[in-house]
Chains A and B, each alone.
Chain A
């Protein structure tokens, strides 16, 4: 769907750039978007996605180059641009105390939509968004998905020629995400041009064309299929139980630029399309024959961004990572319920997690994941049921339990104004490590997570990937038996995510049980087992293969998203294959 002639170019940017003080947020952006495209901008946090969207929306002036949107210059004719577009900024940009109807009406009035048009469009939009029954509810009581759909409606009410959506599905559950996309396609088909940003590979896949944005520069612009094709012949996988050894071999092979240590296999990518070298093949052969695999968008991204320094994390002696005397069952939860007044946040959840297991915990917003983790960390007293963490009963030994668990939160709760070493010392002290123990712990953890040589750097100035690893270091210094990770990889670029997962797998091998909540459904492939929560219940727990086979009809190739959707849309989301 590349633009054919001049008329059809909705966006035309040349050498577009923006700096903030000394920081160059964007540089040399050349971009053309044609009429009727869904155009995706894919990149990790800090890549410059929001800045680019603000430049396109003419609410930020470029410091270099120029850009025409709908034929108008965004610098000199910005009011012509803003009169004609829809722009949804990041987050939930609604007036919380206004009702659905009032939010929609306000948006229509400031954009000069006539009353007759408004009535007609309002009806259609509310129906598409499934918000007819909520018209009089205040925006603040809506769920994340509903809020996002309403935000989208307020930007569609004037039927703009161009719709700019920043982080469309951030904080949105998969069900709502599908509905949002259905709306987008309907409007695309009626001639609207849509530009959106996303950090999610699976979402990017659904765009007509894609731009990879990384560190303020465009790496590539093409259709998803063509982009994936660039990594063809460079991706292999080895199926074996001895993944640790695979990791060690691959880390020592210079041709390997990136690897994914998945639950049951190892996927890796090499730096050329000629196939893996004979020597690497020989080394791997006795563990399992490497076979070519279908590349995905992440592979394409990795191929464009990989630097020599980004290669696989070098192996640190695993023996030193071993946790002392980890009991076989790390978490045993029996009929845990949490009620807040009439509201049931967690409803009779039972499960076991073994030492060394990585379990992914998925579910829409408000399904009860966070509350459950708070219970297991001893931060929230359950209304009923009991749990044993590392063999200790939760109810009676919460202080001892806190020394046996590690917790890394979504926003990497580090002190941004402290240096790396100060953060490490502080968290070590918090877990009761001092003197020689503290020094040993810090000396052990730094090479493990790969933050050597950064001691004096201010945490604030670190990249997202480094902050993430530092946060992990702070959570594992006291060598817990159970590690909770709450959205650990949100906003981090694919390479960093892979390295992070290699670390997680290595920690699991040393006997740590790891419970991860994540929004990235594709990350489910890294987990040994998956738990799906919906409406405060645990509706399924099992390996991905088990979950797939329990579906009616069973589909061995179903994507994680499809499996997830199937479980939570079942009429009675009763217990599935709870193991």
Chain B
């Protein structure tokens, strides 16, 4: 490895990137666009579910219960129903997400200190929201009326790491991993394959520059861009989305550097397998973007998948960084807890580079 030759490649590559404002702009803006789209779109919280009410009691107690529901920000009272038949109509038309049915006699039984029943009918078409809505309704009903007697056990739930259970708090740190797996490889692969298309790579081949020098020289500027992308998305996560930051920023940066080298390396590997920018782009998307969404644990937990798919998910580096990133951001985890993930990423990076250097022979065919 000759330092002067590597510097020449780095310098050349950096100038090319800086002078191509469109590519640079896309490289820096796309991660943000993705962060915003998914930061807002993927929300698993229940907000303002529309509520229908069938009040057959018309009593102070029933009014108080209905008020108790509509005062909660999860529900929004959208209509009052006149009969049981209407329940089916409004649910079928999707006009409400759930219906609260207050039977006649609620007030009286409460006064008699009996245990009266109310009913909640939930539209189960979207099972996640339905479960949430049912759970919330149950909690609301439980907290209404009679105070719990001292004799019964009382469950007091504390949610750690994400006490407000905001989904954005775990989606955004996961997105850090997905975004850094989606864009850096694409940019890198195009950067090399472009040289194949224009033929400049043939002049590189017919020169003393070795393939590892070439790869190293390409790696540095693209890793810097990737690191910049990481800084941008992390700071927007913290300042804009208000995602808490419990752990060490330096540790995240260090782990991120390993991860970014790994994903840039994947881009280089893709570029050694393809000849045109179009195929490079498609291949990069297939090996990075697709698995990073579905098999990184961003949306769906890996441990609930069938064993075979769990193995498949383990092939892609995204899954490890999702754990690292969520650990650092939400739990304040240090290296002692995620050393395994960091080690896997480091080995992964090494393997990708060895493969890429081997694949990139200084031959045209």
Find out whether the CB atom of A97 lies under 8 angstroms from the CB atom of B15. Answer: yes
| Nearest Cβ on chain B to A50's Cβ, whole angstroms | 9
Q: Using a CB-CB cutoff of 8 Å, which residues 34-67 of chain B contact chain A?
A: none
Find residues 1-54 in chain B having any chain A CB closer than 8 Å to their own CB.
2, 4-5, 7-9, 11-12, 15-16, 19-20
Q: Indicate which residue in B8, B19, B208 contacts A79 across the interface (CB closer than 8 Å).
A: B208
User: Which chain A residue has the least Cβ–Cβ distance from B5?
Assistant: A110
User: Is the beta-carbon distance between A138 and B206 smaller than 8 angstroms?
Assistant: no
Q: Which of chain B's residues have a CB closer than 8 A to the CB of A107? A: 203, 207
**Residue A155 at the B interface, CB < 8 A?**
yes
Interface stretch of the complex, out of B150-158, B166-174, B357-365: B357-365
* Residues of chain A in range 152-174 having any CB-CB distance to chain B below 8 Å: 154-155, 164
Residue A198 is within 8 A (CB to CB) of chain B in the complex: no
- Given the interface pairs A78-B362, A138-B19, the reply to whether A57 lies near B206 with Cβ below 8 Å is yes
- The answer to whether A82 touches B362 (Cβ under 8 A) is yes
Instruction: Give A88's nearest chain B residue, CB to CB.
Output: B203
Q: Which of A74-108 contact B (CB under 8 A)?
A: 78-79, 82-83, 85-98, 102, 105-107
Bound-complex Cα distance A138 to B208 (A): 25
Q: A106 to B11, Cβ gap below 8 A?
A: yes
Q: Please, what's the 1-or-0 string for A562-576, where 1 marks a CB less than 8 Å from any CB in chain B?
A: 000000000000000
Asked whether B238 is an interface residue with its Cβ less than 8 Å from the other chain, the reply is: no
For residue B364, which residues in chain A have a CB less than 8 angstroms away from its CB? 54, 59-60
Q: Are B206 and A98 closer than 8 Å at their CB atoms?
A: no
Partner of B198, one of A91, A109, A110: A91
Out of A59, A89, A102, which one reaches B362, CB within 8 Å?
Answer: A59
Q: By the criterion CB–CB under 8 Å, are A154 and B203 in contact? A: yes
Query: Which residues of the partner chain B approach A54 to less than 8 Å between Cβ atoms?
Result: 202, 364
B11 nearest in chain A by CB position:
A106
User: Is A416 interfacial (CB-CB < 8 Å)?
Assistant: no
Task: Kindly report which residue of chain B lies nearest to residue A108, judged by CB atoms.
Answer: B8
Range, interface on chain B? 20 to 34
**A112 touching B208 by the CB < 8 A rule?**
yes
Cα distance, A106 to B4, chains bound together (Å): 10
> C-beta contact mask, A438-460 vs B, less than 8 Å → 1, else 0?
00000000000000000000000
Contacting pair A106 B8 (CB below 8 A): yes
Distance in Å from the Cβ of A90 to the closest Cβ of chain B?
A: 7
A20 touches B16 (CB 8 A): no
Q: How far is the CA of A82 from the CA of B207 in the complex (A)?
A: 5
User: B206 contacts A93, CB within 8 Å?
Assistant: no
Question: For the complex, what is the distance from the CA of A78 to the CA of B207, rounded to whole Å?
Answer: 10
Inter-chain contact A98/B200, CB cutoff 8 Å: no
With contact pairs A79-B208, A85-B206, A94-B200 given, residues A110 and B365 touching in the complex (Cβ less than 8 Å): no
In contact, A110 and B209 (Cβ under 8 angstroms): yes
**0/1 per residue, B204-244, Cβ < 8 Å to A?**
11111110000000000000000000000000000000000
Q: Which residues of A contact B208 (CB under 8 A)?
A: 79, 82-83, 110-112
Q: Given the complex, which residues of A lie within 8 Å of B199, measured CB to CB?
A: 89-91, 93
Name the distance in Å between B129's Cβ and chain A's nearest Cβ.
50
| CA distance in complex: A82, B361 (Å) | 13
Cβ of A58 under 8 Å from chain B: yes
B202 touches A59 (CB 8 A): yes
Nearest-CB residue, chain B, relative to A58: B206
* CB <8 Å contact, A59 and B9: no
Q: A60-B364, A109-B5 are in contact. Are A98 and B207 (CB under 8 A)?
A: no
- Of B4, B202, B203, B365, the residue contacting A109 (CB under 8 A) is B4
Question: What are the residues of chain B within 8 A of A88 when measuring CB–CB?
Answer: 203
Do A112 and B206 touch across chains, with their CB atoms under 8 A apart? Answer: no
B205 touches A109 (CB 8 A): no
Q: Is the CB of A97 within 8 A of B207?
A: no
Q: Is A264 an interface residue (CB 8 A)?
A: no
Other 17 A-B pairs with CB < 8 A, given A59-B205, A79-B210, A94-B200: A54-B202, A57-B205, A57-B206, A58-B206, A59-B364, A83-B207, A83-B208, A89-B206, A95-B16, A97-B15, A97-B19, A102-B15, A107-B207, A109-B5, A110-B5, A112-B2, A138-B19
Could you list 19 A-B pairs, sorted by A, with CB under 8 Å? A54-B364, A58-B206, A59-B202, A60-B363, A78-B362, A79-B208, A79-B362, A82-B208, A83-B207, A83-B208, A92-B198, A93-B198, A93-B203, A98-B12, A98-B15, A106-B8, A106-B12, A107-B207, A111-B208
Interface residues of B (CB under 8 A from A): 2, 4-5, 7-9, 11-12, 15-16, 19-20, 198-200, 202-210, 362-365
